[in-house]
Amino acid sequence: MDPTTIGLLSFGVMMILIVLGIPIAFAMLATAAGGLYIIRGVHYAAEQISSTFWDQATNFVFIAVPMYFLMGQLVYRTNIAADLYDCVYKWLGRLPGGLAITSVVACAGFGAVSGGSVTAVATMGPMCLPAMRRYNYDDSLATGSIASAGTLGILIPPSIILVVYGIWTESSIGALFIAGIIPGILMTIGYSATIWVRCKMNPELGPIGEAFTLGEKFASLAKLLPVLLTFIVVIGGIYAGVFTPTEAAAVGVFALLLIALVMRRINPESLGKSLLETMHTSAMIFVIIIGGHMMGKFVVQTGLTQGLIDWMQGLGLGPLTTMLMISILYIILGLFLDVWGMLILTIPFLFPIILEMGFDPIWFGIYAVIMAELALITPPVGINVYVLAKLASDVPLNKIFRGVAPFFIATLGLVVLIVLFPEIVTWLPEKAGMITAYEG
Amino acid sequence: NASGVGTTLEEAKANTSAVQDWLGGDVPDPEVTYSGDVIEMVATHHLPPVAGLSKVVAAGYRNLEKMSDGKIKVNDQWGGTVHSVREGRRATRTGLSHFAPCFSLYSAKDYTTVGGLGLPFLLNNAHEAVAVAEELYPKYFKDEFEQYGVLVGRMAHTSPYHLFTKDKAVRTLEDIKGMKIRAGGGTHAAIIGALGATQTSIPGAEAYTAMQRGIVDAIHFGDAIAPVFKVHEIAKYRTTNGFNVLTIEYCASKDFFDDLPKDLQLVYNAWARQMAQADAQGFYSVGDVSGLTRTRDAGVEIIDMPEAELDRWKEAVAPLTAEWIANEEKAGRPGKVFIDEVKALSAKYAAMTPNEIFQLTIDSPNMGMYDFK
Amino acid sequence: MHRTIDVLAQILTVLMQIFDKLGAWIVLPAIGLVMITDVILRYVFNSPFIWSLEFGQWMLLFIFVAAVPECTRRHGHIRMELLYVMMPRWFRTFVAFLYALIAGGIFWLVMQVELEELAFSYRLSRITEYLELPVWAHHAGAVAMCILVIAFFTIRAIGIVAGYDPYPEVERDVTELED
Ligand code: NA
Ligand code: NA
């Protein structure tokens, strides 16, 4: 059997293992190890896993992963998230579909001080959902908006996915963070507009909420302070050159701890829970990253990568057609794969093609994150939807997936926008002078 | 003329014409008697295939295939797809690769004498450094590397390092005091400290942004590689000081070499010595000239210090060499003799043209790097 | 038989949690503290630690070494549950067994290599550049992680064969779900 066939077959094996319910990290590790064993022997396979483990586990920049998770945990366990929701609610609750819009904006705010997406859903869901139910919001709209808005957490900086993308492609994490701001805001506006238009057309979907006086509204602004302060410290500090994006993660944790101490919102128990959760999440992501790297290393040995690149280049497609094909590929992969699995399996192959076609690596990072957001909400495997289904156990899964559909379309709209106008992504980091790429 | 090959690109290419021809495929034709199967040599690199250095190195691999009459086929894999640069030595020891970069500066404490090559103002340019280091290898470095289960493929060196500063021009020793400078491993950090600047550790992936945002005030780079990392876009000044060259070894698999038939071992050695010079002259020394031009064209002010000022810098870092020698002697190694030998060889090769050095490499290759059959 | 498995499982759980808590309460905060101190020393006093990068790098390894076993014990590795949850008990038992074989086997391979590296680094007295930490200790940490994980999958596999899963998969609290 030639290596290319082995490569193709092993993809089948990996998918079978994943569908059976073997954890994705181990499905990738087993397939890669098995494949390398067939091509290069057991010694090579064992050396490669161990060497990959060692190399990733001692990569300084990865420290950002546990730290940005810890930030999310702290925001949640110190009720800073609840404050955030409360304030946004008072300001936006009276709009058509106002409580759903509140969920979107509150999720965006949570995203600005944490690094993940599912954490955003799990944190904001228990606050947003009961409020919408109290006002008889349509189940589909209520659940769909939270599940979708949770994905803003990985586009709006800080973002763990952008950190890892930066490490893989050796692009500047700082530039990626800054590049995520405008698309993140656009996506927040896009999601809110989607809700507003739907509720304007059919007010039954999202009845108008509670009214607050202007005094109450302004008084609630104080509750935004912790989130605002933390975001300014973290992103401002990166921009001002006080610290690197990796260090910013530790600074963010420190800032939140300080705020929580001042507000008397933290005790050893909640701190301990935050730390332990952070450990487990990091370990999980870490094993997936090793699995993905192993798959990448195995697939390179099979020659599949080069074959794919040659094939794509042989087609002689223009940049737009290429992006269309890549987008379709991502949507299909995103149906079945989780974010990490999807990115780690594609970036090593697509990145060279992208560079070859003259796309900016920072731009592609933002593009890839938006595509990853779709993976989180599309059936059959949409982690955000599953989390929400557990929060709203009486809402059937297909109803949530239906509620997600308008947001899916809105996200595609943003994808079209950034493909046609890449400046949306590159303008801000360019203004900050942060765009750079490796050059031979 | 820090590059040792001239000041214009035309001059540099003319002065390294022998290496240019070699990289173009014009190689010696040693005798090959082996008639068995083709032997696969897996060569790995962390750089992507499009990088300037990769192109030189890849041309070298094609030359090995040619010189071995096709009996050695190089399977070259780029872009860190097999292992990261930090894992190079382990990869060649354990069989993931047969030939890979394995920079000693990534685990500086694993080595003793080889660190001496990075002492300030000792070696002047890449090809001279390679010639000196390879000549001293059997006597000083062989055991140091072989204890880790690997051979050395070549004692590659970068071109000399200069100071690229973001906002502040460095014209005197006083100017550099307190400046935050990104510190590499090994001797490099010590040099920064000795000058009164602040050693700042920033991971490689974040170095560009760190300088751009002002976390560090300056970065050290050789001219050949500075534009690759787009340093010219963020630096306003470049002060010529050529402190030191970095030793960036390539490791080779011992099993692979030991399994080669005698005639191919000889071919391999001849090739590796030529490759070492070709890489030094063809990429680093010539690249130094084109890189400096590019940096200057980008509007970076090039600051050449007067001899008297440079002497003050040399004085400031002189204790490092003294300290290094003392440490070596304390450990029972001939530190003083080593430095003297480096200086003598440096003078010998400085008096030769790049083409003469390359011819010497072809005519009488160093036979002391490996244990032949 | 069930009782023996249970006792073993509980001992292992305690060990894993000790590791986990050491990482969470000591190593993770230590990394954060060193990074913050470094930022302050650099920005305010212009004299950062030269060893902070090295420290973070090696301590990160211990975070993973400490967290992977407990994460695994809690069934924390994400999987596609769609088909799995719909299938009968025997199917799930089969998948759990297959998972134990695969994952146990992978950590077994890692352990073999890490043992070799441990001996290699120890024999050559390798140390890190600035803090001069012994490199073998890091490999020892990796070996300890492998032993814990292999023990987990072995006990679970034996349990499954004996018709008793000592580490059943329970519904997790959504607030503990992870990205
Ligand atoms: Na975020
Ligand atoms: Na999906």
Query: Can you spell out the DSSP letters for A82-98?
Result: HHHHHHHHHHHTTSTTH
* Residues contacting residue B192 through CB under 8 Å, at least 6 positions apart: B181, B183, B198, B199, B220
Bigger pLDDT: B137 vs A377:
B137
Q: Can you list the alpha helix ranges (DSSP code H) found in chain B?
A: 9-15, 17-23, 52-67, 88-94, 126-136, 142-146, 173-176, 187-194, 207-213, 231-234, 254-259, 262-279, 286-297, 307-330, 335-350, 354-363
CA distance B141 to chain A (A): 26
CB contact under 8 A, A280 and C79: no
A356: phi then psi, degrees, rounded to nearest 5:
-60, -35
Q: Which ligand is nearest to the CA of A339?
A: 2
Would you list the DSSP string of B77-119?
E-TTSS--GGGHHHHHHHTS-SEEE--GGGGGGG-SGGGGGGS
Does C172 score more than 70 pLDDT? Answer: no
Does A114 score more than 80 pLDDT? Answer: yes
pLDDT for C175 equals 47
* Residues contacting residue B356 through CB under 8 Å, at least 6 positions apart: none
Q: Locate A104 and state its tokens.
A: 């979107």
Q: How confident is the model at residue C179 (pLDDT cuts 50, 70, 90)?
A: very low
Cα–Cα distance for residue pair A333/A380, rounded to 1 Å:
11
Does C177 score more than 60 pLDDT? Answer: no
Cα pseudo-dihedral C128, B221, B361, B270, rounded to 10: 50
Does A439 score more than 70 pLDDT? Answer: no
CB A369 within 8 A of CB A154: yes
How far from A352 is each of A98, A438, B228, C47, CA to CA, in Å?
Answer: 44, 12, 17, 40
Does A308 score more than 80 pLDDT? Answer: no
**Region of poorest pLDDT, from A377-391, A402-416, B2-16, C101-115:** A377-391
At residue B161, the 3 state secondary structure works out as strand
Owner of token pair 């100017």: B175
* Residues contacting residue A370 through CB under 8 Å, at least 6 positions apart: A155, A183, A187, A411, A414, A415, A418
For β-strands B237-240 and B72-77, DSSP reports them as: unpaired
pLDDT for C178 equals 47
Task: Give the tens place of pLDDT for each residue, B276-327.
Answer: 999 999 999 999 999 999 999 989 999 999 999 999 999 999 999 999 999 9
- Residues of chain B under the 70 pLDDT cut: 1-2
Residue among B109, B183, B189 whose CB faces C132 most closely? B109
Nearest to B119 by CA among B176, B188, B184, B177: B188
Residue among C46, C117, C129 whose CB faces B198 most closely? C46
Q: Which ligand is nearest to the CA of A113?
A: 1
CA distance B102 to chain C (A): 16
When scoring A44, A51, A53, A277 by the number of chain C Cβ atoms within 10 A, the one with the most, hence best to mutate, is: A53
Cα–Cα distance for residue pair A372/B65, rounded to 1 Å:
44
CB burial class (10 A; 0-12, 13-18, 19+) of residue C30?
middle
Report yes or no: B25 at the A interface, CB cutoff 8 Å.
no
Beta bridge partners, B247, equal B157
Does A288 score more than 50 pLDDT? Answer: yes
Q: Distance from first CA to last CA of chain B, Å, rounded?
A: 43
Cα–Cα distance for residue pair A406/A128, rounded to 1 Å:
19
Report yes or no: A170 at the B interface, CB cutoff 8 Å.
yes
Residue among C32, C65, C98 whose CB faces A250 most closely? C32
Handedness of CA A259, A261, A263, A267 (dihedral sign): positive
CB B167 within 8 A of CB B236: yes
Using the mean position of ligand 2's atoms as its centre, give its distance from the Cα of residue A332 in Å.
Answer: 8
Bigger pLDDT: C47 vs B147:
B147
Q: Which chain C residues touch B180 with a CB distance below 8 Å?
A: 42, 46, 48
Owner of token pair 């490791």: B251
Give residue A174's identity as a one-letter amino acid code: G
Cα–Cα distance for residue pair A189/A208, rounded to 1 Å:
19
Cα–Cα distance for residue pair C73/A88, rounded to 1 Å:
39
Using the mean position of ligand 1's atoms as its centre, give its distance from the Cα of residue C157 in Å.
Answer: 39
Nearest CA in chain A to B217: A241
Would you list the DSSP string of B23-48?
HTT----------SPPEEEEEE-SS-
DSSP C127: B
Owner of token pair 């995103």: A334
pLDDT for C174 equals 47
Does A268 score more than 70 pLDDT? Answer: yes
Percentage of residues of chain A with pLDDT beyond 70: 99
CB burial class (10 A; 0-12, 13-18, 19+) of residue B360?
middle
Cα–Cα distance for residue pair A428/A431, rounded to 1 Å:
5
Does C171 score more than 60 pLDDT? Answer: no
CB burial class (10 A; 0-12, 13-18, 19+) of residue A431?
exposed
Does C80 score more than 80 pLDDT? Answer: no
Using the mean position of ligand 2's atoms as its centre, give its distance from the Cα of residue A56 in Å.
Answer: 27
DSSP B229: T
CA distance B276 to chain A (A): 20
Cα–Cα distance for residue pair A207/A189, rounded to 1 Å:
20
Task: Give the tens place of pLDDT for each residue, A16-75.
Answer: 998 898 998 899 999 999 999 999 999 999 999 999 999 889 988 888 889 988 988 898
pLDDT for A435 equals 64
Task: Give the tens place of pLDDT for each residue, A228-266.
Answer: 999 999 889 988 889 988 899 999 999 999 999 999 999
Q: Can you list the alpha helix ranges (DSSP code H) found in A202-244?
A: 214-220, 225-239
pLDDT for A340 equals 75
CB burial class (10 A; 0-12, 13-18, 19+) of residue B22?
buried
Handedness of CA A391, A392, A397, A398 (dihedral sign): negative
pTM summary value: 0.89
CB contact under 8 A, A387 and C177: yes
CB A138 within 8 A of CB A206: yes
At residue A101, the 3 state secondary structure works out as helix
**Region of poorest pLDDT, from B214-228, C95-109, C137-151:** B214-228
CB contact under 8 A, C60 and A62: yes
CB contact under 8 A, A43 and B94: yes
pLDDT for B370 equals 98
Q: Locate A338 and state its tokens.
A: 């989780």
CB B48 within 8 A of CB B54: yes
At residue A383, the 3 state secondary structure works out as helix
DSSP B353: -
Task: Give the tens place of pLDDT for each residue, C123-136.
Answer: 999 999 899 999 99
CB contact under 8 A, B81 and A348: yes
CB contact under 8 A, A238 and B213: yes
Cα–Cα distance for residue pair B236/B231, rounded to 1 Å:
9
pLDDT for A210 equals 80
CB A283 within 8 A of CB A382: no
Phi-psi bin for B252: left (phi > 0), alpha (psi -120 to 50), beta?
A: beta
Total CB pairs under 8 A between chain B and C: 41
pLDDT for B2 equals 67
CB burial class (10 A; 0-12, 13-18, 19+) of residue A437?
middle
pLDDT for B98 equals 98
Cα–Cα distance for residue pair B200/B342, rounded to 1 Å:
30
Nearest CA in chain C to B204: C53
Using the mean position of ligand 2's atoms as its centre, give its distance from the Cα of residue A345 in Å.
Answer: 15
Q: How confident is the model at residue A169 (pLDDT cuts 50, 70, 90)?
A: confident
Report yes or no: B232 at the A interface, CB cutoff 8 Å.
no
How far from A333 is each of A29, A291, A343, C13, CA to CA, in Å?
Answer: 19, 17, 10, 36
Cα–Cα distance for residue pair A244/A251, rounded to 1 Å:
10
Does A437 score more than 60 pLDDT? Answer: no
Cα–Cα distance for residue pair B80/B87, rounded to 1 Å:
10
Tally Cβ neighbours within 10 Å of residue C82.
15
B169: phi then psi, degrees, rounded to nearest 5:
-75, 135
Q: Which ligand is nearest to the CA of A375?
A: 2
Using the mean position of ligand 1's atoms as its centre, give its distance from the Cα of residue A53 in Å.
Answer: 26
Residue among A30, A57, A278 whose CB faces C102 most closely? A30
CB B205 within 8 A of CB A170: yes
What average pLDDT does the segment A321-340 reach? 85
Does A117 score more than 60 pLDDT? Answer: yes
Cα–Cα distance for residue pair A95/A105, rounded to 1 Å:
13
**Region of poorest pLDDT, from A188-197, A281-290, B34-43, B106-115:** A281-290
Cα pseudo-dihedral C58, C61, C63, C67, rounded to 10: -160
Cα–Cα distance for residue pair C174/C179, rounded to 1 Å:
11
Residue among A175, A243, A296 whose CB faces B81 most closely? A296
Average pLDDT score, chain A: 88
pLDDT for B152 equals 98
pLDDT for C120 equals 96
Rounded to whole angstroms, the maximal C-alpha distance in chain A is 75
Report yes or no: B82 at the A interface, CB cutoff 8 Å.
yes
Q: Which of residues 121 through 180 in chain A touch C, CB cutoff 8 A?
A: 122-123, 125-126, 154, 160
pLDDT for A166 equals 85
Does A440 score more than 50 pLDDT? Answer: no
Q: What chains are in contact with A, requiring at least 3 Cβ pairs below 8 Å?
A: B, C
Does A436 score more than 70 pLDDT? Answer: no
Q: In what order do the strands lie in the sheet with B198-200?
A: B198-200, B180-182, B218-222, B161-165, B237-240, B301-304
Nearest to B271 by CA among B52, B97, B68: B68
Q: Which chain B residues touch C139 with a CB distance below 8 Å?
A: none
DSSP B157: B
CA distance C111 to chain A (A): 8
